Amino acid sequence: MKETREQLNLRVTQILRALKKTYPQATCALNHANPFELLVATILSAQCTDERVNIVTANLFRKYRKPEDYVAVSREELERDINSVTFFRNKAKSIQEASRLLIEKHGGQVPQTLEELVELPGVGRKTANVVLGTAFGIPTGVVVDTHVARVSQRLVLTENKQPEKIEADLMKLLPKKEWIDFSHRLIWHGRRVCQARKPLCEICSIEKFCPSSLLKK
């Protein structure tokens, strides 16, 4: 029998409560010390693991401190500095051009609106949501990565496959104040428990609220 809206809302509330209890300290996995570093790290993270990005930025952020540093270096040198991430040539170009725009239009500071951020090369809605939510605490949307997409589908919070449509569904379901933390917690949950190949339903803190639980089959 199809779930009513009232039943769905109750289940969402229970999921949020359980995730908060399980992952109270969940936060962005990308290492950074300020909004600009987070912006660079998030550009680097496209189709690349956070672990790999953190290895690269450990040295990168010691060498480059501000947008002016990225603009001053040659493209070839920056490419060498990030060549172990996917699509490093495109990302080097995006980082340099984004840095140039930050200097020219924003006084070297990372803007705090979605509209301004997505104007930067290499920055889409997901990247902007990450930066605004994590660096500034501004909930402009729900970050949908592969973990959030997978777990949301298993929880039957969405029937969509495209990240933009999944995000729209989640934004309708979740209180705005939960958008930022929900993404962090679901990413942690997806990495640790609700894994792609074999979800660990027997140790899952939200199993009782999950229609896709293997324990129910």
List residues with catalytic annotation.
126, 145
Cα–Cα distance for residue pair 167/160, rounded to 1 Å: 9
Count the neighbouring beta carbons within 10 Å of the beta carbon of residue 211: 10
Instruction: Judge residue 138's burial from the number of C-beta atoms within 10 Å of its C-beta, 0-12 exposed, 13-18 middle, 19 or more buried.
Output: middle
Cα–Cα distance for residue pair 192/199, rounded to 1 Å: 9
Cα–Cα distance for residue pair 213/156, rounded to 1 Å: 11
